[in-house]
Structures are given as structure tokens and as C-alpha cells.
Amino acid sequence: MRTQGHKVGRWIGAVTSTGLAVAMCLGLSSTGASAASAPAAPGVTPTQINTGAISTLTGPIASNFESLVPGIRAYFDWINSTGGINGRHLVLAYNLDDGGNPTQFTQLTHTLIDQDHAFAAVGIATAFFSPNYFASTGTPTYGYDVTGNWTPAPNLYAAGGSYLCYACGVPGFAYIIKQVKAKSVAIVGYNITASSAPCQTSANLLKKAGVNVSYVDVNIQYPGTTVATDVQRMQQAGSDMVVSCMDVTGNLTMARAIKQYGLKIKQLWLNGNDQPTLDANESLMQGVYFNIEHVPFASPTKYYPGLKLYLTAMNKYAPKYVDDEVAIQGWQSAALFAAGVKAAGSNLTQANVVAQTNKITNFTANGLTTPINWSNSHLRPTFPSCSANIQVQGTKFVPVFLHGNQVFSCFGPSVKNPVPVTPPAGTPGPS
């Protein structure tokens, strides 16, 4: 979930722990090719602004990242159909593929900035993001944070807030546990920081708050083929609910084992809110809960015009990815870039786009998320933290635990007493 500058539940299930360690240790050197020879406003012509993306489009982990760019393209196509921003069209001129290779990502970073002279990197979606060169060149950079290193540089904008806060979502988990009357909770994740960290933090805080956490395993090897053994141990521990930080592959393997053993274990997944996944696995996913960071796709559009805009544009420009939880982050990234460009006006420099963006205190991606305050979201989380809860019912993801027609539940930092509070001003939906 992410709101007010925090995020939780990010992970990359298909990355080996060795590969992730290589990415973390490798970094990006600010030496070598320099952006000094680039024009003062690189990528800008009288009629358009050229931007680029670097994501993992091929290889074994591509399915975790490939849908970010379609969300960006859909937003650009929509905004350009209205005339663009300040008379210029936004163009994704460069769509680069790192193939899940950290060395390739490093090379492409210099290609995008030094050779292509992109004005901004609007689509970073990889397990191997390193901020060094983006930060040192001041390139406005947007994307999907699974690496936890998008802070504190003021020009790095992870969708939903650049501060990755594992603890901020735990009050929301505690609320779900309370709502479903779970008595004994299991928590599972992969042995990868982006998966193990949020679930281990959740286990620690829930235990401290008095929740009976009966089983914890955050060292499951991807792709989760051994999780059936964990299900047996959950049964032995008397667990009646499980919180999973695994990816869809692991979650489905777990759900299959739960069904095979005839267990009555409620499931909360932090990944897998995609209609194609449900269409292909309807029997396994019945009753599964999700805690998400945006207006649920099934919400009534009369209360959520931002959702209507998103669905209309995606159905027109990227219909394959309408209900994709990563594509919506691409839309958010593109919308934030557009907001910064608009605010920069005639002084269209990279530095001014960054400066103007960091003055935005209530960004909602055209009405899809609770307000994000970019004046502080590079540095720290703030409360209340808000998220939406949905459950698989039949063929749909249905919003649950609602307060009237408001889909977001917001909480202070208390895990022991998770009582919903009033959503921040500007939150989409009825007040």
C-alpha cells in the first residue's frame, strides 16, 4: 500500500538472492560518460518532450515489470489527445530493456541520459535500479520501487512516494485480521529483501501488538515450490489466516496446497490483483483478500471519476493491461511527470520540473490514490496511512470493509488498536 509517502508489500519474486545482492553492490558510477554535453533542456522540441524508460521486458522476471510502460503510454496518449501539456506532446521515445541484467541496466542508464538525451526517465521498472547517475545528473526519474533506494534525491519519484516504509501498512493488516476474526496468523515471504523485509516487519509488529503469530517463514526460495511444506506447518501450528509477501506464482502454489489439504485458512496476498490472474485461477483464489494502493477497479465510477478516466483511457490505448496493478503505477508515473511539466510552464528545464513537482502537496494521479505530499515524500512516511481492501468473490475483486462508499481505510501508527480515521483532505471518493 502506499499513501502519504509510504509503501509496503513490494517484492520481486523472480529475482534470486544472489542477483539482488549483485544489484545492490554494483551501484551506478557517476564517472565515465557525462551529461554535460547535453542541451540545457534535453529532449525538448517546439512540439514535444522526449522521455524514456528502462525496464525488464525479457527474461525470467519480465512478467513482474513489463506492464509499467503500457500504463505510461496510455496516459501519454490520453493527455496528447487533449492537446498535450503547454502545447507540447509527451512522447516515450526510448523504451529500453535491461533483460534483468544489472550490468545492462547500468549501460542503458548512460545511453538514455548521455546518448538519447531524454528529458526524463518516466518508466523505471527493474530489480536492479541504482539511483546514482539519475541523481547526479538531475534527470527527473519516475517508476516502480522494489529496491528501496529511491530516497532522498529530490528528482527521484517512485510511484506513490519514494520512501519505502514496511511498517506503515501493518496497522491495515491488523485491521483485516480483526475484521475476519482470525485467531492464529501465519506470515510467509521469499528469501529476498523486497519480500522478506515487509513480512518480517509485519510479523514483529503484529507479535508486539498481541496478535497470535503462530508461524513465520520469510526464507522461502523462489518460485515457492516448497511452500506446500509451509502449509502443512501452518496446519500444525493451528493457523487460520496467512499473510503472503510472495508473488503470484508462490501465492497460487500456496492456495493450491491449502485447497488440496482441505484447510480453512483465510489468505491475504500483497500481490496478484490482476483480472487475467483471477480468470485463469478462479477456483484457487476464491475468498482471497488483497490490500492495495489505489482505487479498486470495481469501485463505482460515479464516486471515483479518476477511475473512470483511467479505465476509459486504458480500454482505448492499452486494453490488455486495464486491470493490471503495475500498469496503474505507470499511469501514476506519467501523470506526475505531466503535472510537473505543466507547473514548470515556459521555464521548461529539468531542474524546474523537479522544483515545481516538489511543491505538489496533494497528488492523486488524477483521482486514483490518496494524496501524496511530494514536499516530504522523498524523506519520510507520514500518517494516516491509507489503503483499499478487496476480496475475490466469484469472478471479481470486490471492495470490502467499506465506510459508506469510501473505499480507502486510513490508520494511525497503532497496530494494537487499528481504528479507521478520517481520510486526508483530497482523498478520492465521498468524504
The three cell numbers of residue 221 are 526460495
Q: DSSP label at 85?
A: B
Please name each of the domains of the chain with its CATH number.
2-165+311-357 (3.40.50.2300)
Contact 358, 375 (CB under 8 A): yes
The three cell numbers of residue 3 are 499513501
Please give the backbone phi and psi of residue 387, each rounded to the nearest 5 degrees, phi first.
-160, 170
Question: Mind listing the pLDDT tens digit of every residue in the chain (431 residues)?
Answer: 333 334 444 443 334 333 333 333 333 333 333 333 344 589 999 999 999 999 999 998 898 899 999 999 999 999 999 999 999 999 999 999 999 999 999 999 999 999 999 999 999 999 899 999 999 999 999 999 988 899 999 999 999 899 888 899 999 999 999 999 999 999 999 998 888 999 999 999 999 999 999 999 999 998 889 999 999 999 999 999 999 999 899 999 999 999 999 999 999 999 888 898 999 999 999 999 999 989 999 999 999 999 999 999 999 999 999 999 899 999 999 999 999 999 999 999 999 999 999 999 999 999 999 899 999 999 887 789 999 999 999 999 999 999 889 999 999 999 999 999 999 999 999 97
**Cα–Cα nearest to 274, from 266, 282, 283:** 282
**Cα–Cα nearest to 429, from 143, 5, 3:** 3
What burial letters (b/e) apply to 50-84, b meaning 16+ CB within 10 Å? bbbbbbbbeeebbebbbbbbbbbbbbbbbbeeeeb
Task: Say how far residue 102 (Cα) sits from the centre of its chain.
Answer: 21
DSSP, collapsed to helix, strand or coil, labels residue 40 as: coil
Predicted pLDDT at 40: 59
Cβ-in-10-Å burial (0-12, 13-18, 19+) of 244 comes to buried
The three cell numbers of residue 99 are 533483460
The three cell numbers of residue 290 are 488483497
- For residues 132 and 29, what is the distance between their CA atoms, to the nearest angstrom? 7
Predicted pLDDT at 379: 85
**Residue matched to cell numbers 538531475:** 138
Task: Say how far residue 138 (Cα) sits from the centre of its chain.
Answer: 23
Which amino acid, 74? A
Return the beta strands (E) in 64-167 as ranges: 89-97, 120-125, 141-143, 156-158
Predicted pLDDT at 61: 85
- For residues 366 and 62, what is the distance between their CA atoms, to the nearest angstrom? 28
The three cell numbers of residue 32 are 565515465
Q: Whole-prediction pTM value?
A: 0.88
Predicted pLDDT at 95: 98
